[in-house]
C-alpha cells in the first residue's frame, strides 16, 4: 500500500496539476492526484449479486466496505485475468470512497496547464464526458479522466 497525500503537496500550484497515471491494456490514463486516497494491491473482491456489470464487487478497506469498479468494463474493453501488477486505486469523491480496478500504476506526473489539451469533440457515438483532457508525455498520450463523472456513470452505490 502506498500513501499519496505527501506527493500531492510537493509541487506548487504554479507548476500545474499532478496526475496519477495508470494502465488499462496499452493505454495510459490519468486521475487528478488530489482525488486519490491510496493505491492497494489487487486482493480478494467479493462479488455482489445483481450489481451493474462495471461493479466488480466490494472489498474491505480497514473495516470499511467499499465498492470496486472495473475500469476495463466501464470503458468497454475486453476482460482480462488480473496479474500481480493489478491495483485498486482508492479515490475519495464528495465523502464517498470507491476503488477503481486497473492493470497497473505507471507514474505521478506534474503537467503544466498548457500541456493539457481539452477533450476532443467526438460527436454523439463516443462517450467523451468521462475525459477531462489529453496530455502528451514523451511519445505517449495520457487520457485524463474526470473521476466524478466516471463514478456517476458506474452506478457505484453498491
Q: Which CATH superfamily is domain 2-152 in?
A: CheA-289, Domain 4 (2.40.50.180)
Residue labelled with grid coordinates 456513470 = 153
pTM of this prediction exceeds 0.85: no
Q: Tens digits of per-residue pLDDT, 64-99?
A: 999 999 999 888 888 888 888 899 999 988 788 999
Distance CA 80, CA 24 (A): 10
> Can you tell me which residue has the cell 465523502?
95
Looking at residue 93, what is its pLDDT? 81
Where residue 122 falls among pLDDT bands split at 50, 70, 90? low
pLDDT in tens, 10-44: 434 445 789 999 999 989 999 999 999 999 998 88
pLDDT for the residue numbered 116: 85
Q: Give the pLDDT score at 97.
A: 93
CB atoms within 10 A of CB 71: 20
Q: What does each C-alpha distance from 157 to 51, 83, 115, 132, 138 come to in angstroms?
A: 10, 27, 34, 23, 37
Sheet with 87-93, edge to edge strand ranges: 2-3, 36-41, 87-93, 96-102, 64-70, 55-61
Return the pLDDT at 117. 84
Q: State how far the Cα of 112 lies from the Cα of 17, in Å rounded to an integer.
A: 7
> Angle CA(5)–CA(129)–CA(26) in degrees, nearest 5?
70
Amino acid at each position: 500500500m502506498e500513501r499519496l497525500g505527501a506527493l500531492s503537496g510537493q509541487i506548487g500550484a504554479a507548476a500545474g496539476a499532478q496526475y496519477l497515471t495508470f494502465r488499462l491494456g496499452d493505454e495510459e490514463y490519468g486521475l487528478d492526484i488530489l482525488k486519490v486516497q491510496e493505491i492497494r494491491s489487487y486482493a480478494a473482491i467479493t462479488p455482489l449479486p445483481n450489481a451493474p456489470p462495471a461493479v466488480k464487487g466490494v472489498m474491505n478497506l480497514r473495516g470499511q466496505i467499499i465498492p470496486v469498479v472495473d475500469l476495463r468494463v466501464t470503458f468497454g474493453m475486453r476482460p482480462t485475468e488480473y496479474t500481480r501488477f493489478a491495483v485498486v486505486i482508492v479515490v475519495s469523491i464528495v465523502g464517498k470512497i470507491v476503488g477503481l480496478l486497473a492493470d497497473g500504476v505507471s507514474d505521478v506526473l506534474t503537467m503544466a496547464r498548457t500541456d493539457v489539451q481539452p477533450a476532443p469533440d467526438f460527436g454523439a457515438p463516443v462517450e467523451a464526458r468521462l475525459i477531462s483532457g489529453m496530455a502528451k508525455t514523451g511519445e505517449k498520450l495520457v487520457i485524463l479522466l474526470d473521476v466524478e463523472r466516471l463514478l456517476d456513470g458506474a452506478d457505484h452505490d453498491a
